[in-house]
Amino acid sequence: MPLPPCPGTPNCVCSDDEGASHIAPLRLREEAPAAWEGLVQALTTQTGFTITSRGSHELRVMAKTPILGFIDDLIFQLRPELGEIAIRSESRTGYWDLGTNRRRLETLRRVLSAQGLIDRG
């Protein structure tokens, strides 16, 4: 099942989108269960993330920006048949996020890559 598309505003990124809102999915280097658990661990140990829903192949996460406290919604879908985790992050309010959603996911990509769970991208 594809992730919901971004609404066409510059406050959302999604690996299932094309164009300006596209972001590369997380390409698995490890077996899917290990990479998935590594993602969960990274989200629970980093400040600002709250897992709101956890399934075997989908995570929904709320992220809070540190200074102004804006809330963003993230979705991660494990797609073992494709060797990837699809990713999406969107601001709840506002039109432009100054690149916050993209930076957040790229930072997470670097953390997981450093742990050897995913490719650098």
User: If DSSP codes are grouped into helix, strand and coil, which group holds residue 118?
Assistant: strand
Q: What is the pLDDT of residue 56?
A: 94
Structure letter (DSSP) for residue 2 = P
3-class DSSP assignment, residue 95: coil
Higher pLDDT, 79 or 8: 79
Q: Side-chain half-sphere of 114: how many Cα atoms within 13 Å?
A: 7
Looking at residue 121, what is its pLDDT? 65
30 pLDDT above the threshold of 70 = yes
The per-residue pLDDT of the chain, averaged, comes to: 95
Give yes or no for residue 94 having a pLDDT over 90: no
Domains in the chain: boundaries: 12-112
Does residue 108 surpass a pLDDT of 70?
Answer: yes
Q: Phi/psi at 19 (nearest 5 deg)?
A: 80, -150
Length reported for the chain: 121
Task: Please give the Cα distance from 18 to 15 (Å, whole number).
Answer: 8
Residues β-bridged to residue 34: none
pLDDT at residue 3 above 80? yes
Fold of 12-112: TATA-Binding Protein (3.30.310)
